[in-house]
Structure 1
Amino acid sequence: MTRPSDTKSRIQEVARELFLRQGVQHTSLRQISERLGITKPALYYHFNSREALLRSVVQPLIDELENFIAERRPGPPEELLADYFDLAWRHRDVLMMIVSDLTVLTELDLVSRMLAWRESLITLLVEPGAGPAARIHATVAAGGLSDCVVQYAELPFEEVKTAAVEAAVAALKP
């Protein structure tokens, strides 16, 4: 017998796959339920809306990113960027889903939160009182690192991490 939590996980897994392949806006709850071989009411038992299902798929990234930002203190940029890369890589499917369908940010009201997370990351990368040039370099470093996770997701982890972190650290230099 399948436990409800197993069904819920299966729904999230299929939704993640379809959201990534077809885009969030082009994936219906009917498609998800048909793919799983369950009724739409069975799906609604676990998620009362497509937005709730989408949020459940994105929430682990949100939680981990918020914890990452809250727990970090300024330190060696190489370490911070390497750890940030690891976080992004773990959630690359969700990041790819968001990048391929930016309406997700609006639908889940994440635009201001994403900008705040980026700002926090930049603050961790630059010295207090640093000028605009240092902040711009940090923005390029953080953004470029995230972009590499999405752009090169099919390449081996170590290959992408090594090159991306080296490039991000180089971007920090004036």
Structure 2
Amino acid sequence: MARGNTRQRIQDVALELFGEQGYEKTSLREIAEHLDVTKAALYYHFKTKEDILNSLFESVSQPIDKLIEWGQGQPRSLETKQEILRRYADALAAAAPLFRFMQENQGTMRELRPGEHFKHRMISLVDLLRDPDAEMPDQVRCFTALMAMHAGMFALKDIEGDPDDKRSAILEVAIELVTQAHTGH
């Protein structure tokens, strides 16, 4: 099997186990067993669990970094802010298992490097959505819009309904919050 395919399989199995058991309770040995490979074969690709986690976050970080870069070059209009939310919703959907892992392992995420990097990305996104001189309730609305997207994705996973409808509803609420903050109403 090609090296890239093996790395991807390791990432997929690790993320699945991290989600089921938690990051702390998952060992490299268990990951290797689920893949039916030796621990040495796993070490060839990743030396630690954190190396696996870092590689998972690299894949989701690139689209978010591009979104931040794009947003920084745009006017601070309502249309730009709404487009930032749409693009962020797409990034969330594309990396849903990783974001669920983050939601369920918040304590672990605070202690690891990817968590710190992700926190800085969230601050950058909030800065693109909020006006620096806005009243505090409007600044909170912008922060809450992003958090609603995260929490909504996590909370609605067990509620019946079409996944696309759920994502649309979450995005609609986030856009309403940012629109209210932008217009002051």
Fold agreement, TM-score > 0.5: yes
2:30 aligned residue: 31
Q: Alignment RMSD, CA only? A: 1.9
Distance 2:125 2:137 in 1: 16
Distance 1:126 1:102 in 2: 25
Tell me the amino acid that sits aligned with residue 134 of structure 1: D
Out of 147-156 and 159-168, give the one that drifted further: 147-156
Q: CA-to-partner distance for each residue in 1:22-60, whole Å, 9 max, x for gaps?
A: 111111110111111110001001111111112112221
Tell me the amino acid that sits aligned with residue 163 of structure 1: A
2:139 aligned residue: 135
Q: Does structure 2 conserve the Cα–Cα contact (< 8 Å) formed by 1:122 and 1:139?
A: yes
Q: Does structure 2 conserve the Cα–Cα contact (< 8 Å) formed by 1:85 and 1:146?
A: no
Say which SS state the counterpart of residue 113 (structure 2) adopts: coil
Distance 2:47 2:132 in 1: 46
Say which SS state the counterpart of residue 99 (structure 1) adopts: helix
Q: CA-to-partner distance for each residue in 1:71-91, whole Å, 9 max, x for gaps?
A: 223341332212111111111
Tell me the amino acid that sits aligned with residue 102 of structure 1: Q
Identical-pair percentage: 27
Deviation at 1:112, TM superposition (A): 4.1
TM-score, with normalisation over the residues of structure 1? 0.88
Counterparts of 1:1-174 in structure 2, within 5 Å, are: 2-72=1-71, 73=74, 74-75=76-77, 76=79, 77-153=81-157, 155-172=161-178, 173=180, 174=185
Q: Does structure 1 conserve the Cα–Cα contact (< 8 Å) formed by 2:54 and 2:114?
A: no
Q: How many residues align?
A: 173
Unaligned stretches of 5+ residues in structure 2: none
Unaligned stretches of 5+ residues in structure 1: none
Runs of 4 or more consecutive aligned structure 1 residues displaced over 4 Å after TM superposition: none
Higher helix share: 2
Out of 119-128 and 90-99, give the one that drifted further: 119-128
Deviation at 1:170, TM superposition (A): 2.1
Q: CA-to-partner distance for each residue in 1:126-167, whole Å, 9 max, x for gaps?
A: 345323222111111111112112222465332022211221
Tell me the amino acid that sits aligned with residue 20 of structure 1: G
Query: Structure 2 vs 1, CA of residues 109 and 32 (structure 1 numbering), >3 Å: closer, same or farther?
Result: same
Out of 78-87 and 17-26, give the one that drifted further: 78-87
